[in-house]
Structure 1
Amino acid sequence: MTDQIQDKTQDQTLPQFYKAVTPLMSQLHGTLTFEEQAKPNFGFAADSPAIVLTTDEFIAAQADYPIVFSSGENPMPVVMTGMPGGKNRHVDGEGHWQAERYVPAYVRRYPFLLAKLDDKATDLTLCFDSESGRLVEGEAGNLFAGDEPTDQARAILAFCEQFEAAIRRTESFVAELCDLDLLIEAEASVAGEDGTPRILRGFQMVSEDKLKSLRGDQYRKLVQSGALALIFAHLFSLRRIGTLFADEPLL
């Protein structure tokens, strides 16, 4: 059996998870409350076997997930959280992420994001998924005090800004890999839950042979930019592909 890995952020109009992107404005949303829970509900990510990862997270994530690159013209790093076409094996029936496993920033950012309101816009605006059910109406919200954002809203904005900056760094890293022609189409064989071999295709990885063939000046550039450490984290993480079905199931 062959399974294709797809980066869902590339083949749909809205980003992965998001159903309705709405600008957050004090005039319209002054009574909205966003409750941060000690144990957040990640049920929205339960059907996502691949999730975007920034390079800032490679070191933290590589011990828990395979880090691969999506195929296509604009590859991006993703963590595999399950088999293609399957479920996220790290989210249980109650929406809890598996304990002690790293939760990607893309997931932690939801239901907020920074987005351009139209094609002509030059600035990004703080928005939220108005169909997420994560923000509720009340007599007085906790995101605005009158027309001014609260400390909580400022913290949300700061996190989204940090995430966008990390995305830019990630795009630069991928561009460096592409310039050196280091990414190759890859495949992997894993044993399914019933023991039947399954071939995974539709993803890319860094070629170790191409990496070894780089000139000295190219190699030094990777070291100086910090890209080499990220490449090693990616390569080390690939050992996790064989354990996509070997991990203990969630209860």
Structure 2
Amino acid sequence: MARKVRVFVKDSPQHVILKSLDKLAIFRDKSDYETFMEILKESVAKSALAVHSYVLMPHFFEFLATPLSEDALSKFMQSLGRKYVGYFNKKYSRVGTIWEGRYKSSLVESERYLFGVMVYIEKIAPKEHLFCSIHKNLYGKKDEILSYHDLYKKLGFTDEQRVQKYSKIFNSHTDSAKESFIKRCLEKQSVTGSEDFVKNLEQVMGVSLRTKERGRPKKEEKEKGKKMYKNLVILDKEKHKELKINPLESLSFAKSVAHIPLLANEVAQVGAAFPVVFTAGDKPELTVIVSLGSENLAINEDGKWITSYVPSYLRKYPFSLASTKENPNQKVILIDEDSSLFSKSKGKQLFKKDGEKSETIQHAIDFLTSYDTQMNVTQNVAKLIAQSGILEAREISVGEGEEKKVLVNGFQVVNREKLNALSDDILADWVRKGIMSMIDAHLKSLSNIQALFEIAQKRQS
């Protein structure tokens, strides 16, 4: 069991209660509540603390908040308590404190107990009680005191979605054992968290407690559904010690590739000439459509990309990067052993005579590592966009009715109306992170679907 100490852990909320002395009624009429609310609003605005839920009751003030610094909570409580004591004593002609003592607090394990504590606090008073955070969290009304916790924000991409999800949590079957645990932890000032969380806390006091869950090792990377790589094998300094590589002058190896994966930072450049879309499925990716069902229209008969910018996915050929089965964090270099770029008679050597990597290989490793990092970022962005619910399925077809022929399907695009319906804080966050710029480039690129037809027509003629 955790010790009875005040614990600060960065980004972790605290469940706090401040009780009156000998159950003194500290809120005797509506003006008392309103005055305390004004003091509370002022104190929150001046403090490094974000309040997620609260309730004012005749004998106590209880809330959940995330302090942004180690002394933020104590300074907040001192200021709040002192100001209200001054008001209360003056109004009711008394002297001395009105509080039982120092506030009680309990560090909360967010992932498991954040919503449990929020609901616990907001169920203390009747739903019609005016001085409670329930009106914003459950009904979506304005409250300048509150700041949404990140987990609450993740309930949805619009305020309406968040209220609906939180309503389900709030109105779900009451877990009396969980409520008793939350109450007991606050009273004893122990940690509201799992045993593992508490044990870890005791070992690493003051250090972030977030750890990544161990999952199954990643499978070796495969180029599924793409014909660019013919025979991927692990680069071996013994097996490939005589191998040389020639410059990448032709992209003919990708002539049969109908869509090419893109990085988020490539959308604007590639999308200036070709439509950039999201793949369908549970794990959407950014991709550029370069075919209407047959050959790659972005590569001409000489094997050249027809615009100035070549996607990095093609530029990394004939190399690739993969995780090992034994250690997902360990990367290995793969090569397309059947690539015409490799030779034993001409080109740049892959390995030096002593078996060490050549500058050519080191350059390839640097490029692959950078690509892998950017692809992880891109996949996270695509996942976030998909989770927001703003993607819709599309297809490219010709003709109508019985004569309709689908040329390309299995892709998604952003629905502009759904995009505009997202909450302001989500849109603002996306603007700051550059996601909106990427989405704008994606939407603008869709006009290039017609360009594919024009390229195809020119080649046929």
Question: Is the 2:274–2:451 contact (alpha carbons within 8 Å) kept by the matching residues of 1?
Answer: no
Paired residue for 1:60, among 269, 287, 290?
Answer: 269
> Structure 1 pair 134/118, CA: closer, same or farther in 2 (3 Å)?
farther
The 5-angstrom pairing of residues 134-213 of structure 1 reads: 134-138=341-345, 142-145=349-352, 146-189=354-397, 198-199=405-406, 200-213=408-421
* d(CA) in 1 for partners of 2:222, 2:268: 30
Question: Is the 2:319–2:336 contact (alpha carbons within 8 Å) kept by the matching residues of 1?
Answer: yes
AA aligned opposite 2:459:
P
AA aligned opposite 1:43:
S
> Structure 1 pair 158/28, CA: closer, same or farther in 2 (3 Å)?
same
Match of 1:3 in 2: none
Question: Is the 2:284–2:386 contact (alpha carbons within 8 Å) kept by the matching residues of 1?
Answer: no
Percent of residue pairs identical = 26
* d(CA) in 2 for partners of 1:36, 1:244: 29
DSSP-derived class of the 1:185 partner: strand
- Comparing 140-149 with 206-215, greater Cα deviation is found at 140-149
* d(CA) in 1 for partners of 2:295, 2:347: 38
Superimposed CA distance per residue, residues 66-114 of structure 1 (whole angstroms, 9 cap, x where no aligned partner): 001111111111101111x31101223342332x343211111111011
Higher strand proportion (structure 1 or 2): 1
Paired residue for 2:235, among 19, 24, 36?
Answer: 24
Higher RCO structure (Cα 8 Å, ≥6 apart):
1
- Comparing 141-150 with 154-163, greater Cα deviation is found at 141-150
Superimposed CA distance per residue, residues 203-245 of structure 1 (whole angstroms, 9 cap, x where no aligned partner): 1001101011111111111112210000000000000011212
1:172 positional shift: 1.2
Question: Is the 1:66–1:239 contact (alpha carbons within 8 Å) kept by the matching residues of 2?
Answer: yes
1:115 positional shift: 1.0
AA aligned opposite 1:31:
E
* d(CA) in 2 for partners of 1:158, 1:250: 41
The 5-angstrom pairing of residues 1-251 of structure 1 reads: 14-15=223-224, 16=226, 17-37=228-248, 40-83=249-292, 85-98=293-306, 100-118=307-325, 120-138=327-345, 142-145=349-352, 146-189=354-397, 198-199=405-406, 200-247=408-455, 248-249=458-459
Q: Which runs of 5+ in 1 are unaligned?
A: 1-11
> Structure 1 pair 140/187, CA: closer, same or farther in 2 (3 Å)?
closer
AA aligned opposite 2:242:
T
Superimposed CA distance per residue, residues 15-61 of structure 1 (whole angstroms, 9 cap, x where no aligned partner): 42112221212222121111115xx1211111112111111211211
> Structure 1 pair 72/139, CA: closer, same or farther in 2 (3 Å)?
closer
Q: Which runs of 5+ in 2 are unaligned?
A: 1-220
AA aligned opposite 1:205:
V
Question: Is the 1:92–1:250 contact (alpha carbons within 8 Å) kept by the matching residues of 2?
Answer: no
Considering only aligned residues, what root-mean-square deviation do their CA atoms show, in Å?
2.4
* d(CA) in 2 for partners of 1:152, 1:14: 23
Question: Is the 1:190–1:242 contact (alpha carbons within 8 Å) kept by the matching residues of 2?
Answer: no
> Structure 1 pair 141/90, CA: closer, same or farther in 2 (3 Å)?
closer
* d(CA) in 1 for partners of 2:369, 2:331: 9
* d(CA) in 1 for partners of 2:289, 2:405: 15
TM-score, normalised to structure 1, is 0.84
Higher helix proportion (structure 1 or 2): 2
DSSP-derived class of the 1:41 partner: coil
* d(CA) in 2 for partners of 1:81, 1:157: 27
Which structure has the larger Rg over C-alpha atoms? 2
1:187 positional shift: 3.1
TM-score, normalised to structure 2, is 0.47
AA aligned opposite 2:265:
D
AA aligned opposite 1:219:
L
Question: Is the 1:114–1:127 contact (alpha carbons within 8 Å) kept by the matching residues of 2?
Answer: yes
Superimposed CA distance per residue, residues 155-184 of structure 1 (whole angstroms, 9 cap, x where no aligned partner): 111111111011101011112102211211
